[in-house]
Amino acid sequence: MASKGTVELERMSVEQLKALKEQTDLEVNLLQDSLNNIRTATARLDIASSALHNLSLRPHGKPMLVPLTASLYVPGTLDDADKVLVDVGTGYFIEKTMAEGKDYCERKIKLLKSNYDQLVEIATKKKNMADEAGVTLQAKLRQLSPTPQ
């Protein structure tokens, strides 16, 4: 038995089906990009959380390399590991305690994972819609094409 969505697809013209397929494919690609961005952000927060944990284990006055950029480190010493600066985005930093910094990272990771799960569900639905439109389009094109003799 055909579902309501399939019946609606069968009523569409070839041009409408092509447009629907292109639109849903574009939306799936955009959702995939968003999923990749969320994965990247989650990985960065995992690294930051791990760095905070490692920093809390170091004794005061211990020499260490301080990252200024991804590839530039300068020598320094650990003065106060109880206070950290947390990057909250767009160039803003907030001073927090070590525990608050760890909590911030964990909350952000939890939020990103929740958003990721929601986007996966939406992307799956859009992909199924694109696949159904493609199958229906192929069937209509086969019906319209003259049969070889």
Closest to 78 measured CA to CA, from 67, 70, 66 = 66
DSSP string, 11-26: HS-HHHHHHHHHHHHH
**How many Å apart are CA 43 and CA 27, to the nearest integer?**
24
**How many Å apart are CA 32 and CA 6, to the nearest integer?**
25
Per DSSP, helices labelled H in 12-97 are 14-57
Q: Would you say residue 3 has pLDDT above 80?
A: no
What does the pLDDT read at residue 1? Answer: 40
Secondary structure class of 57 (helix, strand, coil): helix
pTM metric for this prediction:
0.75
CATH number of 13-142: 1.10.287.370
**pLDDT band of 64, cuts 50, 70, 90:** confident
pLDDT, tens digit, 9 for 90 and up, residues 96-140: 999 999 999 999 999 999 999 999 999 999 999 999 999 998 988
pLDDT, tens digit, 9 for 90 and up, residues 30-56: 999 999 999 999 999 999 899 888 888
Amino acid at 90: T
- Mean of all residue pLDDT scores within the chain: 88
**How many Å apart are CA 83 and CA 1, to the nearest integer?**
63
